């Protein structure tokens, strides 16, 4: 119940009731004071007219047409809307002033009775009085439209109408204020809901009132808290997973390092041809195993979407050049002919994760080094068309369909594929027995 009184519904009901109440009061005050007052005044006015009409008729002894008409004129001045007539002792219509209705010239007793009956408490207000104190000169009739009697009352009704109108306007105004207040709070709430913190999570809102919007804000805050909790849990899990993989990788690499150490020691001994060959093969296998461990770890993290992805605006030409600078000596050592032609694109900044891009380039260049040794050629160029900007890497190896001496499960390429897709760029691969062309492309936005 307490909650109900704090609700917006309760407030609005209160506004409606207040408006109705004020309207009732607004109507009652005129009705009770003005209207009742007028009513009394009207009755009082009618009584006065009636009384005076009778009194003055009583004093009209020996009436002539002229005297009666003078009498009528006197009243006419006071009541301009009135009409009057005189029926003499013989029942004849002897004089009249401003009478508009059709009146018979001769009044029979039955017509007279009917006339009195018709006019009783009707409009016009009618007063009938016998002329002279002995009532032997017939009777005079005074007629006044009741509207003339209620003249003041019309003013009263106008006041009531204006008052009612004012109250309606006031009610509409208060309603508008009320809804405007609600709207403002909802808009504020919406804006507050759109704010994000460093973790890209919405932030809690100050709950100011205990009404429906207040409840909405509370629920929103609860959701934010739950979201935060779940994000935190997710981060913890991510951390654990990362830690586990890092430890696993460490534990696998430590014995590998020891093996390498001993192998190195052996290689320093005087070895037979067979021995040297065995050392070399073991060394190569260890290198492959190391790379596989690395790829497997990355792949596990990547497929579980746990590999950190931090896209930023990266100068792609610069990144490719830096990557090439570190790979160059290796290609040089293998006797590769290297062509590098990197000219800036119109839009040089790509929204990518630089570490991921390095990874992709490393993978591609490593593949050239491992599988396309026979071609002894590497070219890295920039290519720009209407549709896309691309980094084009060409080798003259025997192509990807031909098996090279170093086969793998293709896990490296799977990683590249996943990364490329996530970064919204494309990788096009064309390979035949004269070489392989790889294009790392970014579609151009409409120029």
- Interacting residue ranges for other proteins, rule: CB under 8 A: 242, 245-246, 249-254, 256-262, 264-265, 286, 290, 294, 297, 308, 318, 321-322, 324-326, 328-329, 339-342, 344, 355, 380
The closest of 409, 406, 404, 407 to 436, measured between CA atoms, is 404
Count Cβ atoms below 10 Å from residue 223 Cβ, excluding itself: 13
Question: How far apart are CB 402 and other proteins at their closest, in Å?
Answer: 29
Choose between 147 and 285: whose C-beta lies nearer to other proteins: 285
Question: How far apart are CB 442 and other proteins at their closest, in Å?
Answer: 18
Choose between 90 and 265: whose C-beta lies nearer to other proteins: 265
The closest of 342, 334, 440 to 389, measured between CA atoms, is 440
Name the 3-class secondary structure at 87. Answer: strand
Per DSSP, 410 falls in state S
**Contact, 415 vs 295, CB < 8 A?**
yes
Choose between 218 and 376: whose C-beta lies nearer to other proteins: 376
155 phi-psi bin (left φ>0, alpha ψ -120 to 50, beta other): alpha
Choose between 40 and 251: whose C-beta lies nearer to other proteins: 251
**Contact, 142 vs 82, CB < 8 A?**
yes
Question: How far apart are CB 320 and other proteins at their closest, in Å?
Answer: 10
Question: How far apart are CB 334 and other proteins at their closest, in Å?
Answer: 16
Question: How far apart are CB 205 and other proteins at their closest, in Å?
Answer: 34
Choose between 83 and 295: whose C-beta lies nearer to other proteins: 295
Burial class (CB in 10 A: 0-12, 13-18, 19+), 384: middle
Question: How far apart are CB 272 and other proteins at their closest, in Å?
Answer: 23
Question: How far apart are CB 329 and other proteins at their closest, in Å?
Answer: 7
Tokens standing for 54?
């009778």
Tokens standing for 170?
């006031």
Choose between 202 and 354: whose C-beta lies nearer to other proteins: 354
Choose between 93 and 296: whose C-beta lies nearer to other proteins: 296
Choose between 148 and 245: whose C-beta lies nearer to other proteins: 245
The closest of 47, 49, 70, 45 to 60, measured between CA atoms, is 70
**Contact, 261 vs 236, CB < 8 A?**
no
**Contact, 84 vs 142, CB < 8 A?**
yes
Q: In whole angstroms, give the CA distance from residue 200 to residue 267.
A: 55
Question: How far apart are CB 303 and other proteins at their closest, in Å?
Answer: 16
Q: What is the secondary structure of 158-199 as a DSSP string?
A: HHHHHHHHHHHHHHHHHHHHHHHHHHHHHHHHHHHHH-B-TT
């Amino acid at each position: 119940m307490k909650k109900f009184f704090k609700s917006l519904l309760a407030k609005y009901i209160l506004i409606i009731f207040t408006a109705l109440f004020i309207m009732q009061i607004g109507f009652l005050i005129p009705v009770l004071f003005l209207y009742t007052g007028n009513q009394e005044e009207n009755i009082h006015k009618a009584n006065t007219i009636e009384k005076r009409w009778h009194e003055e008729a009583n004093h009209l002894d020996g009436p002539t047409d002229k005297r009666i008409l003078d009498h009528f004129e006197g009243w006419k001045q006071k009541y301009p809307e009135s009409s009057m007539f005189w029926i003499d002792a013989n029942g004849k219509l002897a004089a009249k002033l401003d009478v508009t209705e059709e009146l018979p010239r001769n009044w029979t007793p039955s017509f007279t009775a009917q006339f009195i009956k018709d006019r009783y408490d009707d409009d016009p207000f009618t007063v009938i009085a016998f002329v002279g104190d002995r009532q032997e000169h017939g009777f005079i009739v005074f007629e006044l439209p009741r509207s003339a009697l209620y003249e003041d009352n019309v003013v009263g009704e106008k006041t009531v109408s204006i008052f009612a109108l004012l109250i309606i306007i006031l009610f509409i105004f208060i309603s508008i204020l009320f809804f405007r207040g609600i709207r403002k709070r909802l808009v504020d709430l919406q804006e507050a809901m759109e704010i994000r913190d460093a973790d890209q999570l919405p932030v809690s809102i100050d709950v100011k009132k205990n009404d429906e919007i207040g409840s909405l804000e509370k629920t929103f805050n609860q959701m934010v808290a739950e979201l935060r909790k779940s994000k935190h849990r997710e981060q913890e899990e991510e951390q654990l997973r990362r830690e586990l993989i890092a430890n696993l990788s460490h534990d696998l690499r430590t014995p590998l390092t020891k093996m390498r150490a001993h192998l190195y020691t052996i290689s320093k001994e005087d070895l037979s041809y067979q021995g040297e060959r065995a050392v070399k093969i073991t060394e190569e296998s260890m290198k492959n195993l190391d790379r596989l461990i690395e790829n497997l770890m990355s792949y596990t993290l990547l497929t579980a979407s746990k590999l950190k992805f931090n896209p930023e605006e990266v100068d792609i030409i610069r990144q490719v050049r830096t990557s090439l600078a570190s790979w160059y000596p290796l290609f040089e050592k293998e006797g590769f002919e290297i062509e590098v032609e990197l000219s800036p694109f119109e839009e040089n900044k790509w929204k990518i994760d630089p570490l991921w891009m390095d990874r992709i380039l490393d993978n591609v260049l490593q593949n050239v080094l491992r599988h396309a040794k026979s071609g002894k050629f590497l070219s890295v160029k920039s290519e720009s068309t209407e549709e896309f900007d691309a980094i084009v890497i060409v080798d003259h190896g025997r192509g990807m369909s031909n098996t090279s001496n170093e086969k793998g499960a293709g896990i490296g390429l799977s990683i590249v594929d996943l990364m490329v897709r996530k970064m919204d760029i494309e990788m096009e691969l064309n390979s035949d027995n004269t070489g392989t062309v790889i294009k790392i492309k970014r579609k151009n936005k409409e120029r």
